[in-house]
Chain A
Amino acid sequence: MEVADRLRLATAPGPGVPPAFEDLFRREYQRVVAIAHRVVADADEAEDVAQDVFVSFYRKHPAEAHYAAPWLYAAAAHTALNVLRSRERRAKRDVVEAHRREDQAPDPAQAAETAETASEVRAALARLPDRSAALLALRYSGLSYEEIAAALGLRHSSIGTLLRRAEDAFRREVAR
């Protein structure tokens, strides 16, 4: 390559991300992180989820799609739930492994004490059916019934009932 070409190249950025996608990212990123954060309760993990969600949208959908925002919200909830579930599986394995090594049964008093901790709450959320957990994640991230219906492909009129059922199931799981 000649010097002149190199000079031109040096000043030319790559094709990069289209402006429409950047606008979408700027508009929705915070909300997508908030949804994921509500599920995983870890800011860094939530941002990792948001990155994956935006990349997979970028691969498959045009930024101008009318369904972009609800798609991102639903994907944030589902991806975060997957992260949460694999984290729970890992934690369970670790506990079993630790007990086996120490040859010692778990202390029931201590277990009761920690039952109400945040990690137990997340474990309960992880045990819920996907749709119920996603409903809770979206609702408690501040989405309206209308937005939840669009994100999860449900009828607006059924959101209230489904949400109440999800809340009851969640309480049962936490109390378990």
Chain B
Amino acid sequence: MSDIEDMLSVPEPKVDTERALARLRARVDAERIAPVNRGASGPRRIAVNVWVRALAAAATIALVATLLTASGLAETILTIFEPKQLVAVPITVGDLSGAPSFDAYGTLTWTAQPKPYDVPDKTTAARESGMTVLVPSDLPAGIGAARYGVMPKTTATFTFSAEKTKQAAAAQQRTPPPMPANIDGSKLFITGGPAVVAYYDDGTKPSGPTGATGASPFTGMPKLIVAQGKPPVVQSDGVTVEQLQSYLLAQPGISPQLAAQIRAIKDPSSTLPVPIPVDMATSKKVTVQGVEGIFVGDSTGLGSAVIWQKDGIVYGVAGTLTEQQVLAVANSLR
């Protein structure tokens, strides 16, 4: 027996399951591979799935934001998160999809839902958002005229529920750590926006089909997007950050890597984590508009983005452009 064991012995392979899962997801997406039971469920089910997942993703971002809390002062309403700087947090696709839905921990009540709408021009966008809307003076050749959208200020209240958590975990046959008594029933007040987004289509081509059905992630994507908005702010009615952080980061589905990244943020109450999907993109620090920003390049070399925060506003420029082009547009915003 043991001679065969010796002959067949191999060093223990070091595997990164989350990275491997991300690779599989990318392949499934790229090759449009459908799972065996999806055909039968029909388009309606898929549509619902998209929204469930969208909600989960949005909730994950809110969850991450919620984690970025600082002091445990026992004030009635405590601003626990108000970002003043940005930091890149590498995530895998698995981190996003594996993270538990916020929904499973309590009830999210929108007091003002995120309802983006189109506006005819920059002046209207500025009036509706209450912000000074910056426009680029340096546009690459072939870029068409801008169209504007406004996302009004969005507010929501989240109430933690130990009972709901228990039920959700049971339904998924998972056993999360028990919710501490003082988190149960506590409330978070989440504010996001307003935001203004300007879209520039490729001036040389008519607008393509919608992005929902295209094979490439860039199908239907405008050539250039310029966005600006008030960063999200999270307030708490008393729950301390240490409790929230240790409770939430210990949940099944939060990878140890992601948890470590979030714990490593030095000034969590004022740092907005910018998730960088490591399987699809790379990031680096750049100087933009005289401040530090994060440049994100997708691994296909087709798209670039830069994001920075200045004077209380988060700005982003993204497009199917080169790094130089994107930075030139960003630096020309006035």
Q: Which residues of B contact A19 (CB under 8 A)?
A: 97
Q: Are B4 and A3 in contact (CB under 8 A)?
A: no
Q: Are B24 and A30 in contact (CB under 8 A)?
A: no
Interface range for A = 35 or more
* Interface-facing stretch out of B143-151, B158-166, B259-267: B143-151
Q: What CA separation (Å) do A39 and B272 show in the bound complex?
A: 46
Q: What CA separation (Å) do A60 and B17 show in the bound complex?
A: 22
Interface assignment of A75: CB less than 8 Å from any CB of chain B = no
Q: Are B57 and A121 in contact (CB under 8 A)?
A: no
Interface assignment of B25: CB less than 8 Å from any CB of chain A = yes
Q: What CA separation (Å) do A11 and B15 show in the bound complex?
A: 30
Chain B residue total in the interface (Cβ 8 A): 53
Find the A residue at minimum CB distance from B93.
Answer: A16
Chain A, range 36-90, C-beta contacts under 8 Å to B: 37-38, 41, 43, 46-47, 50-51, 54-55, 58-63
Q: What CA separation (Å) do A8 and B212 show in the bound complex?
A: 11
Q: Which residues of B contact A29 (CB under 8 A)?
A: 15, 17, 20-21
Query: What 1/0 mask marks residues of chain A from 23 to 40 whose CB sits below 8 Å from any chain B CB?
Result: 001100110011001100
Q: Are B35 and A9 in contact (CB under 8 A)?
A: no
Given contacts A2-B118, A6-B211, A17-B24, contact A167 B147 (CB under 8 A): no
Interface assignment of B98: CB less than 8 Å from any CB of chain A = yes
- SS of A interface (majority): helix
B63, chain A: closest CB distance, angstroms: 15
Q: Are A136 and B4 in contact (CB under 8 A)?
A: yes
Q: What CA separation (Å) do A139 and B210 show in the bound complex?
A: 52
- Which of A13, A55, A140 contacts B54, CB < 8 Å? A13
Interface assignment of B8: CB less than 8 Å from any CB of chain A = yes
Q: Which residues of A contact B35 (CB under 8 A)?
A: 17-18, 21, 58-59, 62-63
Given contacts A4-B117, A43-B13, contact A22 B98 (CB under 8 A): yes
Q: What CA separation (Å) do A89 and B197 show in the bound complex?
A: 58
Given contacts A1-B211, A1-B220, A5-B210, contact A167 B4 (CB under 8 A): yes
List 29 A-B residue pairs with CB atoms under 8 Å apart, sorted by A's residue number.
A1-B210, A1-B211, A3-B116, A3-B199, A4-B149, A6-B199, A6-B211, A6-B222, A8-B116, A11-B54, A12-B54, A12-B57, A15-B38, A15-B46, A15-B49, A16-B28, A25-B21, A26-B94, A26-B98, A33-B13, A41-B10, A51-B20, A55-B28, A58-B33, A59-B33, A61-B36, A136-B4, A136-B8, A170-B4
Which A residues lie at the B interface, using CB under 8 A? 1-9, 11-19, 21-22, 25-26, 29-30, 33-34, 37-38, 41, 43, 46-47, 50-51, 54-55, 58-63, 121, 125, 136-137, 140, 167, 170-171, 174
